[in-house]
Structure formats: C-alpha cells, structure tokens
Amino acid sequence: MRTPVALAPMAGGVGTPALAAAVTRAGGLGSLGGAYLTPQALRDAIREVRALTDGPLLVNLFAPQTVPAVTPDAIALATAELAPFHDALRLSPPTLPERVQEDFGAQLDVVLEERPEVLSVAFGPVPPDALAALRARGILTVGTATSLSEALALHESGVDAITVQGGAAGGHRGGWQEDALADTLTLAREVARATPLPVLAAGGLMTADDVRSAQNAGATLAQCGTVFLMADEAGTSVPYRHALQDGRRGTVLTRAYSGRAARGLRTTFTDAVHHPLPFPHQNALTRPLRTAGAQARQADVLSLWAGTGYRQAQATGAAQIVASLTPGN
Ligand SMILES: Cc1cc2nc3c(=O)[nH]c(=O)nc-3n(C[C@H](O)[C@H](O)[C@H](O)COP(=O)(O)O)c2cc1C
C-alpha cells in the first residue's frame, strides 16, 4: 500500500468491485462488503476485483447471528407500520420471508477458496474455527470494535488487527454493544495503547488532515466509507446520491430498516417506524420495499446509510478521493 487509506466495506450495493479495485490501484486497501451476497455472488465479486487489480483486497462479512424468535404480535406491529409504504408503491402487503440471512459458513468457504488478503468481520468476534481456517490459508483477520472492551475481547480472540468504529460512522454499528458511540480518535488512541494490534480507525474521517489525526492517535489505517458514497465507481443509486447532495436531512441512528442500530440520512421511514423486528428479521421484512423504492426513485423508503461527515462526500473518481485523503499530497 502507498497510502494509509482503506475503503470501508459497504454491503448492500454501494461498494462495488470497480470501487474496490480503484482504491487498491490508487495505493489504498480496496474492500468488498460481502454480508448480503450469496456465496456465488461473493465469489463473482472477488474474481471481478482480481481481474481489475493484483493488489490487496479486504472482504467483510457479518458474524453469524443467533436468529431471535419473534412473536406473532411483534410481526403484526412491524408489518402494520410498513403497510402504508407498501400501499403507496402498490406492493402486496409486507410478509416475513422464511430465510432472513445468508449462510456465514458458505460465505466463509468462498473466502477460504478465493483468498482475499484480509477478512474483516462485523457484529461479533470471528468464530474460533473460522479464525484457525483463515490463518491456515494466510488470510489476515480483522475484528470490529465500537468500545475498548470489545477491542480487548477481539484481541483475546486472536485476530490480527482491529477496526475501531466511532459514533460518527455511516452504516451499522459494527460491534455488538449497539449503544457504544465513541469519538473515533479517542477510541483509536485507547485501543492502540491497550493492545499491540494494528488499528484501523473508522468514523468521520473525510480529509487528509483527518487521516493524519487518526495516525497521530495510533491508527495504522483510516477506514473511510462516507467520503466514497458519491464516487463514480460506487453503486450508490440516483435517489441516494440526490439525498446526499441535498444536504438538508441530517443523519439519525435508526433500527427502522434492519432492526439493528445504523446511521443514515433521516427519512419519512425512519420517522414512522417505532416497532422494528430484531435484526435480521426487519432487514428481510423491509427488503421488498427498499428494492421497489430504488426502482421508483423514492429516497424516503431507502436505507441511505451515511456518516455525520456526508456533506464532504466527493462526486469524483475514487483515485481522486484516495489522493485527497493522503497526508502530504
Ligand atoms: C453505505 C454503508 C455501508 C456499510 N456497510 C458495512 C458493512 O457491510 N460491513 C461493515 O463492517 N461496515 C459497514 N459500514 C461501516 C463502515 O465499515 C465504516 O465503519 C464507516 O463507513 C466509517 O465511517 P464513515 O462512514 O464516517 O467514513 C457501512 C457504511 C456505509 C456508509
């Protein structure tokens, strides 16, 4: 790598193979958010990046979750809140699908076969058997912490590096203590002091000065997501780009779309939903609405994940954005 910048993995369509390859080619660490991809789609995406660059690649998955039981009453409440949005888009009434998440084991098998240089995991520690298998293949492992205690637990678990995610970050809270909203630089400093592991700092890093500050706090890399949301190579949809450019919405922490706390632009949907099902049920429940909303260009039903720095996202090529994040350029 020629610059201390990692592209934050962004599942759900924003992070494309073209974006990953462009960041790697520009000297950073490109990444793929693979959590919502089927094993075949994940394999295809990794191969697409490999066809575009022989530089390093990070793949990100969600740690396997115990799927919580949900009561018929909770389902009725959650579907009732969605119903008016379905009606407005002339969709059939919302129903909970049987399959609510991808199979982590099958995704991991693809990673072991395709061998990206790095696998990072969010929402929990890397399972011990996965860690051993990854190590045996020479794939570096990164855990995600939103607090010092999570970082210490990840260090204990034997990962090679830790992403520390501050409260300004766009997208889901990546640890397992969803209410931990640290200042990015403070948390990076604490974790860099408390563990010998390399730290990737994430959350609100939008400029070369921010990247330099993260390095001064002890981070090895800055992991940047929001600054790339408007990149030419990003998969960000047209209504999503317009909402970002508009700049008036502000961000909120919401469980409305997925059942898990995430930061995104405020929408009429985030205002209207008060009884989401727990993750990953709500994510599966809202998927048809989000798909239809993207087709109909209705930004207000989309999960417009964005960090607090979104007004500084740059509508240009990814290589240009990497250059703008590189200290001393
Ligand atoms: C659109 C979007 C999708 C994201 N998806 C993931 C993901 O799949 N896995 C993950 O670990 N983090 C994900 N994140 C969080 C990022 O990894 C990272 O913590 C965050 O983008 C850093 O803060 P910033 O957005 O202020 O740059 C996502 C963030 C955004 C904006």
Instruction: Choose one of 118, 126, 210, 226 to mutate for the ligand 1 pocket test, by most ligand atoms within 8 angstroms of C-beta.
Output: 226
The residues, any chain, with a CB within 8 Å of residue 88's CB and separated by 6 or more, are none
The token pair that represents 22 in the structure block: 């462009």
Q: Indicate if ligand 1 lies below 6 Å from the C-beta of 35.
A: yes
pLDDT at position 65, please? 87
> Nearest C-alpha to atom 17 of ligand 1 is from which residue?
8
Gap from CA of 226 to ligand 1 centroid (Å): 7
pLDDT at position 78, please? 97
Which atom of ligand 1 approaches the CA of 121 most closely?
11
Closest CA to 322 of 60, 53, 43, 118: 53
What is the tens place of the pLDDT at every residue in 311-324?
999 999 999 999 99
pLDDT at position 313, please? 97
Q: Is residue 158 part of a domain?
A: yes
* Beta-strand relationship, 57-62 and 118-122: parallel
Q: Indicate if ligand 1 lies below 6 Å from the C-beta of 17.
A: no
pLDDT of 19 over the 90 cut: yes
| Euclidean distance between CA atoms 138 and 231, whole angstroms | 31
> Nearest C-alpha to atom 28 of ligand 1 is from which residue?
171
Instruction: Give the C-alpha distances (Å, rounded to integers) separating 203 from 142, 164, 207, 249, 307.
Output: 16, 8, 12, 19, 7
Query: Which residue intervals of 170-299 are DSSP H helices?
Result: 184-194, 208-216, 238-246, 268-272, 281-295
Q: Indicate if ligand 1 lies below 6 Å from the C-beta of 9.
A: yes
Gap from CA of 279 to ligand 1 centroid (Å): 17
The token pair that represents 107 in the structure block: 């995704």
Q: Is residue 329 part of a domain?
A: no
Mean pLDDT computed over 180-204: 98
Domain extent for 22: 5-64+73-323
Instruction: Choose one of 305, 308, 321 to mutate for the ligand 1 pocket test, by most ligand atoms within 8 angstroms of C-beta.
Output: 305
Q: Indicate if ligand 1 lies below 6 Å from the C-beta of 195.
A: no
Return phi, psi of residue 215, to 5°.
-65, -45
CATH code where residue 194 lies: 3.20.20.70
Q: Is residue 146 part of a domain?
A: yes
Instruction: Give the C-alpha distances (Å, rounded to integers) separating 245 from 37, 249, 314.
Output: 28, 10, 10
- Whether 282 and 78 have beta carbons less than 8 Å apart is answered as yes
Q: Is residue 48 part of a domain?
A: yes
What is the tens place of the pLDDT at every residue in 286-304?
999 999 999 999 999 999 9
pLDDT at position 329, please? 82
Which atom of ligand 1 approaches the CA of 202 most closely?
22
Which atom of ligand 1 approaches the CA of 169 most closely?
23
> Nearest C-alpha to atom 13 of ligand 1 is from which residue?
10
Using a 10 angstrom Cβ sphere, with 0-12 exposed, 13-18 middle and 19 or more buried, the burial of residue 78 is: buried
Which residue has 């002091």 as its token pair?
A: 193
pLDDT of 5 over the 90 cut: yes
Q: Is residue 96 part of a domain?
A: yes
* Residues listed for the chain: 329
Q: Is residue 274 part of a domain?
A: yes
Gap from CA of 103 to ligand 1 centroid (Å): 21
Which residue has 């990546």 as its token pair?
A: 174
- Whether 56 and 32 have beta carbons less than 8 Å apart is answered as no
pLDDT at position 9, please? 98
pLDDT of 47 over the 90 cut: yes
DSSP state of 310: G
Gap from CA of 16 to ligand 1 centroid (Å): 13
pLDDT at position 178, please? 80
Q: Per DSSP, what are the bridge partners of residue 199? A: 162
Q: Indicate if ligand 1 lies below 6 Å from the C-beta of 33.
A: yes
Q: Is residue 123 part of a domain?
A: yes
Q: Domain count for the chain, please give it.
A: 1
Q: Is residue 204 part of a domain?
A: yes
> Nearest C-alpha to atom 31 of ligand 1 is from which residue?
170
pLDDT at position 165, please? 98
Mean pLDDT computed over 12-23: 97
The per-residue pLDDT of the chain, averaged, comes to 96
b/e 214-251 (16+ beta carbons within 10 angstroms → b): bbebbbbbbbbbbbbbbbebbebbebbbebbeeeebeb
Gap from CA of 206 to ligand 1 centroid (Å): 13
Gap from CA of 23 to ligand 1 centroid (Å): 15
Q: Indicate if ligand 1 lies below 6 Å from the C-beta of 58.
A: no
pLDDT of 100 over the 90 cut: no
pLDDT at position 109, please? 98
Mean pLDDT computed over 128-155: 98
pLDDT of 73 over the 90 cut: yes
Angle at 280 between CA 41 and CA 270, to 5 degrees: 105
Q: Indicate if ligand 1 lies below 6 Å from the C-beta of 191.
A: no
pLDDT at position 181, please? 95
* Cis ω for the linkage preceding 280 (within 30 of 0): yes
